[in-house]
Amino acid sequence: MRFRRIWAMFTARNREFFRDRATFGWNFLFPFLLVVGFAIIFSGDSPQEFKVGLFSCPTQDPAAAAACVPPELAGIQQIQYIHFDHLEQGLERLKHHKIDLLLHKEGPPFRYWINETAPKGQTLELVLVGSLTDDGPRLLSRQEALNVRQVRYIDWLFPGIIGMNMMFSALYGVGFVVVRYRKNGVLKRLQATPLTPFEYLSAQMLSRLFVLAFSITVLWIGCHFIFDFTMEGSYFDLVIVFLLGSLSLIALGLIIAARGTSEEFANGVLNFITWPMMFLSEVWFSIEGAPDWVRGIAQIFPLTHLLRAVRQIVNDGARLADLGLEVAVLALLTLLFLATGAALFSWNK
């Protein structure tokens, strides 16, 4: 292995990225516009149906769940009930906008909590109280608002958009581009030199890592000034998690890049991977309450673990030591994807 050859490929790829002004600009503009758009449209709340958490209710079965709520509320179709074993679980989900209201069965009166920064929670409270035909206060008892810092929807959403941008940049910037290089003969030209596949793939990986680091930094600083995000955790921990997340996503891109000369096919495969990953990894909204198999599929995506770790650092102030599972999964996925991509790689097939 010659570092000089890796460096030559690293600088060549960086030049291409930074000189391609249209792609370069879009890489920053797109996520920024998304953040601005969502900040304006939802004003801090998410767009899904109402989700009500229940704890000390024995089942998620809708009929049984109905027995845990005031009878006047049981018929409201727009409410999805989600079961929690512990109050702390429910409060944590409420804080992170994964549910709109938390209800405790032991009553009447039924105790409930809302997140005061979430307009949907306040709306749901009005709906619930307004729908009671009996003496409302006898049936419902609002508890103290969460006594921790409230997480705005935009605070929760921003890491998702950063992560989504990383995903597209890593997968298309490596997977799609290398397939294009193979199709137009650039890889064949490189094959005619002493450059090894390992050196070439390392250079692609490092270059994309550099591009991601640069774009995340610019985006983070820009949005921080505009939206005044609160960072609860350590920036060092955040950098480590972003590094691992970037590597795992780039390594996934290397698998796409390993074979093939059809850009159309590569695009199809990338769509097949990115769209489910975007929705199931909770970029835009929580999948709390989704069927178990859906949440199981979400676990195979590196973006799921990346966003979970980033949100815990940014929103909750978690430390790396608290994120052992996510860090380990990201590291393992990186190694798995990298080994697969390197084993499958071909210069010309």
Partner 1 sequence: MKTTTAPILECRGIIQRYGRLTAVDDLSLAVPPGICFGLLGPNGAGKTTLIEILEDIIRPTAGEVFYLGKPRTSLFRQQIGIMFQQTALLAFMTVQETLATFHKLFDKAYDLEELIRLCHLDDIRKQLNDKISGGQRQRLLLALALINQPELLFLDEPSTGLDPQARRNLWDIVHQVRSQGKTIILTTHYMDEAQHLCDIVSIMDHGRIIATGSPQQLIARHTRGINITLPPDAAEAITSNAIFQVNRLADRVVLQVTDLNRAIQALLEASVDLTHMSVQSPTLETVFLNLTGRKLRE
Among 193-201, 248-256, 262-270, 286-294, the segment contacting partner 1 (CB under 8 A): 193-201
Element (H, E) at 26: helix 21-42
From candidates 189, 217, 239, 265, binder to partner 1 by CB under 8 A: 189
Question: x/- contact string, 46-85, with partner 1 (CB under 8 A)?
Answer: ----------------------------------------
Nearest distance from residue 24's CB to partner 1, in Å? 10
* Contacting residue, 56, 89, 123, 191, with partner 1 by CB under 8 A: 191
311: Cα separation from own chain's centroid:
9
Q: Is 289 left (phi over 0), alpha (psi -120 to 50) or beta?
A: left
272 binds partner 1 (CB under 8 A): no
Give one word for 56, left, alpha or beta, with left for phi > 0 and alpha for psi -120 to 50.
Answer: left
Site string for partner 1, 168-187 (x = CB under 8 A): -------------x--xxx-
The amino acid at residue 209 is L
* Contact mark string toward partner 1, 129..168, x via CB under 8 A: ----------------------------------------
Is residue 241 within 8 Å of residue 159, measured between CB atoms? Answer: no
Helix (H) or strand (E) holding 308: helix 302-316
- Rounded Cα distance between 306 and 246, Å, is 9
- Least distance to partner 1, CB of residue 246, Å: 23
Stretch that binds partner 1, among 115-123, 166-174, 192-200, 219-227 (CB under 8 A): 192-200
Q: How far apart are CA 317 and CA 248, in angstroms?
A: 23
Q: Verify binding: residue 4, partner 1, rule CB under 8 A.
A: yes
Q: Return the CA Rg of the chain.
A: 24
Q: Is 16 in the site for partner 1 (CB under 8 A)?
A: yes
Q: Does 8 bind partner 1 (CB under 8 A)?
A: yes
Question: Does residue 341 contact residue 259 with C-beta atoms inside 8 Å?
Answer: no
